[in-house]
Each structure stands twice: as C-alpha cells, then as structure tokens.
Structure 1
Amino acid sequence: MFESFIKSCSKNIIGNENNIKLSLACIVCGGSILIEDFPGTGKTTFAKTITYNLGLDFKRIQFTSDLLPADILGYNFFKGDQNIFQKGPIFTNVVLADELNRGSAKSQSAFLEAMEEKNVTIDGETYKLPDPFFVIATQNPMDSSGTSMLPDSQIDRFMVSFSLTELSDNQKKEVLKNNFTFDENQILNINWNEIKNQKEKININENIYDYILNIESFINQLNKDIYISPRCLKQISELGKGWSLIHDRDYVSHQDIKDILPFIIRHRIRFLNEENEKINFIKNEILGKIEIPK
C-alpha cells in the first residue's frame, strides 16, 4: 500500500525518497513536520504532493509579520442577534504553514493548541479540528532576512524536521523537464482508524525502551544546548512504530531508532546551524558512542 504512494510522490518530488518515507511515517503517527530550507527549493511542492496523494483536504497559510491569530483560527461575529463562528483555514486535514518563522510570536503561538490538542479555543469556546489533522510547516534558515527563531514550546511540537536533499545534475534536469502532475488513481485511500490499530499492534520490547532512555541520558551528559523533553521521547517510540509500519514490519528494531533519531533531534539542537553539522553530530557524537543494550 505504501510503496505505490512513495512512487507516486517521487514523480513530483525528485531525489527525496527517504524524506517522503519519513513524512509518511510521521503522518500515520499523527505527528507534525517541519521542513527547513532556502526559498525556492521545493518545500511547498513537497507539502502539496504529500497531501494530494493522501487524498486529504488541504489549506495553505502564508505567514507574514502582520498575520493575526484570527486569520488562522477564525473569529466570531454577530449577524443580527446571532453569534456566528467563521472558521479559519486551520479547519482542514492538512495545514501548510508556509514560512512559519516569518510570522509574529502571536500568530505562531496560535498553532500551539491546534498541533498538540487537535482543537482550538475562540472566546472561551472549544472547537474540534477535523480528523485526521496534521501540520506541515516550512521555515527559512535563521540567517534569512525577516525571520525569527521559533520558541522551544513550538519547536518541541514538531515530530520531525529535515531539509530537502541536494540534487545531482541529472536530478536537476529531471526537475527542469518535469511538470507538476497529479494522478487521482494514485491516491492512497487510508482508513485512519485501521492505521491507528495497526500501529498500536507493532511491538516495542523493553530493550528498545532502554535504548531510547540511554540516548536521553547520554545527551543530557553532553552539556550541550539540546532539549530532550518527555514529549520528544514519546515521539521517538511513536515514530519508530510508524517507520516499521511503512516498511511492513510488526516490530521496532534498534536500527529503526538509529534511522529516525537524527530527524527528531535535529531541530532541537541550538548550538549548531548547518544541517550537515547537526546530522553528523547526532550520528557520530551520539549514536556512534551509545552501546545497544544486550
């Protein structure tokens, strides 16, 4: 089932098969995705392609300095003597928060409850968001003009982050020749309740949990600016299940944790800026120095 989805997405997303798999694993776990790269590298195309191939409703919010929370969540207004709630664009299955770090702190924080609780509160009234609900956010690198660093409370809610793979010359030619196409016959018709049940049946033994806790303990001993919250630990185990599910396995292995960990920890590292530096640090200075429990 997932193989056809990956092939279909790869027609429009050239040279990023691993990022497609990672995004799919994250989505089946109900997580949110942060894509960090320079303007014009295909972040929006990536998000649209994933969404279209899932056959879900999709809305895009362009973050700017003057965007207000009401522009995202919605607002109440009176029509005669009746109070009416006008839903904002966040009421959809997949929200593309484009250039999230160009928005004001107020507009960014408007996403917090939605991402975590899957509902929003307007004037004391709580409204449930559609099921399923996911956020795919893009942000420009911190040294780009007009950007501001996302707060830890926001960053911690993203399950994974990645940059799009740098393309070879041949892959760039493919991009130049390719026109964005979408085949409705390739839509992945997911029964989300069934997916949840399948994911929960995937086995994680005590040895894997010990390995995750060893990783947390090792990172804490490094004395580096890396924040590993209980939410982050839960995301590691959940994404491990999602990664196993899309690879058609019913158990999580140590290698699964090694495969996904760089993309979970990456956006929680504050003392490095370059993506390659972060990924190499995680692989060499963390995973490369932690023994697998016997």
Structure 2
Amino acid sequence: MIQTWFDKLSSNVEQVIVGKHEEVRRVVATLLTGGHVLLEDVPGTGKTTLARALAKSLGLEFRRVQFTPDLLPSDLTGVYVFRQGEFEFRPGPLFTGLLLADELNRATPKTQSALLEAMAEGQVTLEGHTHPLPRPFLVIATQNPIEQEGTYRLPEAQLDRFTARVRLGYPEGESEREMLRRMRQASPLDGLGPVTTAEAVLEAQRAVRKVRVSPEMEDYLLEVVAATRKAQGVVLGASPRAALALERFAQALAALEGRDYVIPDDLKDAVFPVLGHRLILAYEARLEGLTPESVLHVILERVPVPVES
C-alpha cells in the first residue's frame, strides 16, 4: 500500500525535480518517520522547489521563512495581542503543514532554538499556554555549506533534531537538459496538484511503525551506533535519539519498498542520511581529511552483517 502511495507521490514531485529520485525518497522517508529534514547544498540546486513541490503534492499548507540575523523567535511562534479587552493568540508561520526554514544558520541561536519544541513535540508553548501544531508537521531546513560569512553554526542539539540530512547535488547526465526543456515555457510547479491527503500521510506514518525489526536487525543497528562512539577521530558519536531515528528511517525505507520487515540494506541506506550530520570529528582528524561519511564507510565494512537464520 505504502509503495503504491509513494510511487504516485514521487512521480508527481519528479515532474518538477528531475533526476533526484533517491533524494525525494529520503525526504519522504523522513516524513513517514514523523521527523524533519536538513537540506544542505549550494544555492540553486532546487531545495526550495523540492519543498514546494512536496507540499503541493501532499496537499499540505506551505509556509516559507527566510532566516536572517534580525529574525525573532516570536516571528516564528506567533504572539499574544491585546484586543477587545483580552489577549488573543496570533499564530506564526510555524503553524503549518510544511515549513521551509530557508538558510536556518543565518538566524541567531536564540531564534534557531524556537524550533526545538515544535520539531521535537509538535507544539509551541507561549505565556504558559501550549498550542498544538497541525499534523502532519514537517520542517525542511536549508543550509549552504559553502558560504559561512554572517552565519551561526547549528549547535549539536539542533542538528540532532533533524532525522536526516539530504544533499541534492547538481543534476547528472541528461537530467539538466530535461530540466531546461520542462522549464522553458512555464514552471511545472504552477500546475502541480495534490495526489494524497494529510490523513493518508498520518495513516502511512502509523503503518511504518508496524514494520518488523528482528532481534538480529536490532543487534546490527546497535553495533553500528556503538561503533560511531568508539571510532578513531570521532569526539561525539551517535546519540540514543540517533539510534531511534536510524531504526525508524530504516522502517520507512522498507515500507517504501513494499516490505513489512527491515533488512540489512535498509539500515545501510539509512546510515548516511541519519548519522552523517550527527558525528563530530576531532580537529586533527578533519585536518587529515577524515569526514563523517568516510568514518561511516569504515564502520559498515567492519561491523558484521547479520545473515538469515
């Protein structure tokens, strides 16, 4: 069921985003875990377009916030205003189905932290009152890894709230030519319509939680996570929250493939988007050219893959 649902959704999104099926799959898998996505890439690679295409395809309300140094937390959460003798809550752009937090690292840490409760618990607390956010709720935050002038580094606690980091990269082969042809007359985004509903997304999220993870797969996952904490050159490995995110992401990937059980390939596919942005390397290791991805490659080569009993 979820596989058919995803095929229809991805076909719709890929009318606009050409040649990025795997990246779309990872973003949708994150949505099915109930988590959030960090899109990290250079400008002009389609990050905003992907977010808009996904929101339209899902039939979700879409809000885009350009993060700048002068952005305040209340610009996101909303404020209480005094009107007709009482205080009235006016919700901010956080109260939407899909929020595009564009260039998140250009806002101050105080403003960045305004997202923490919303991302972790799906609610906003102001003046002692808790306001639930719409469901489903997905944050897609973007970050330019090249231009760091005038930015604030995302703290580890903030990075750990993102289930996955996805990099779009430049189009390959004929994909860029096809993009030019599609955009020549008008943007396909203009005519894009919904192919599913919020209720269907919530149903798919519940189905993903039921995907079976065998004891062997649990052992494999825990060994990989433990290895990140002991790997040479790593000063901060994967947290327990990362282990939970890894399992749920693997469950989502299995469901997208039409399976109700997780296999080792699901966990391997989940490792890089889920753990890559969570590992903190020592300064000396970075000087030697070590990257989180290279560390994870070594770990996957060394940790024994479980075999079917």
TM-score calculated relative to the size of structure 1: 0.93
1:254 to partner: Cα distance: 0.8
Match of 1:153 among 131, 151, 157: 157
1:143 to partner: Cα distance: 4.5
Establish whether residue 22 from structure 1 lines up as the match of residue 30 from structure 2: no
1:194 to partner: Cα distance: 2.4
- Contact persistence 1:4–1:186 (CA under 8 A): no
Identical columns (%): 34
| In 1, Cα distance between equivalents of 2:230 and 2:200 | 43
Match of 2:227 among 204, 218, 226: 218
Match of 1:199 among 197, 203, 208: 208
The one-letter code of the counterpart of 2:78 is G
Query: Any runs of at least 4 consecutive aligned residues in structure 1 with deviations exceeding 6 A, and if so which?
Result: none
Q: 1:185/1:94 Cα in 2 relative to 1: closer, same or farther (>3 Å)?
A: closer
1:241 to partner: Cα distance: 1.1
Match of 2:303 among 273, 280, 290: 290
Query: Which residues of structure 2 form unaligned runs of 5+?
Result: none
1:144 to partner: Cα distance: 2.8
Q: How many aligned positions are there?
A: 292
Could you list the per-position Cα deviations for residues 16-57 of structure 1 after superposition, in whole angstroms to 9, with x for gaps in the alignment?
A: 110101111110111100000112221111111111111111
Q: 1:124-139 counterparts in 2 under 5 A?
A: 124-139=128-143
Establish whether residue 279 from structure 1 lines up as the match of residue 293 from structure 2: yes
The one-letter code of the counterpart of 2:94 is I
Match of 1:256 among 263, 266, 278: 266
| In 2, Cα distance between equivalents of 1:45 and 1:278 | 28
Q: 1:53/1:193 Cα in 2 relative to 1: closer, same or farther (>3 Å)?
A: closer
Q: 1:112-131 counterparts in 2 under 5 A?
A: 112-131=116-135
Establish whether residue 241 from structure 1 lines up as the match of residue 258 from structure 2: no
1:170 to partner: Cα distance: 2.2
2:258 partner SS: coil
- Contact persistence 1:142–1:149 (CA under 8 A): no
CA RMSD of aligned residues (A): 2.0
| In 2, Cα distance between equivalents of 1:157 and 1:40 | 25
Query: Which residues of structure 1 form unaligned runs of 5+?
Result: none
| In 1, Cα distance between equivalents of 2:193 and 2:81 | 41
| In 2, Cα distance between equivalents of 1:60 and 1:185 | 19
| In 1, Cα distance between equivalents of 2:131 and 2:33 | 22
The one-letter code of the counterpart of 1:188 is T
Establish whether residue 188 from structure 1 lines up as the match of residue 202 from structure 2: no
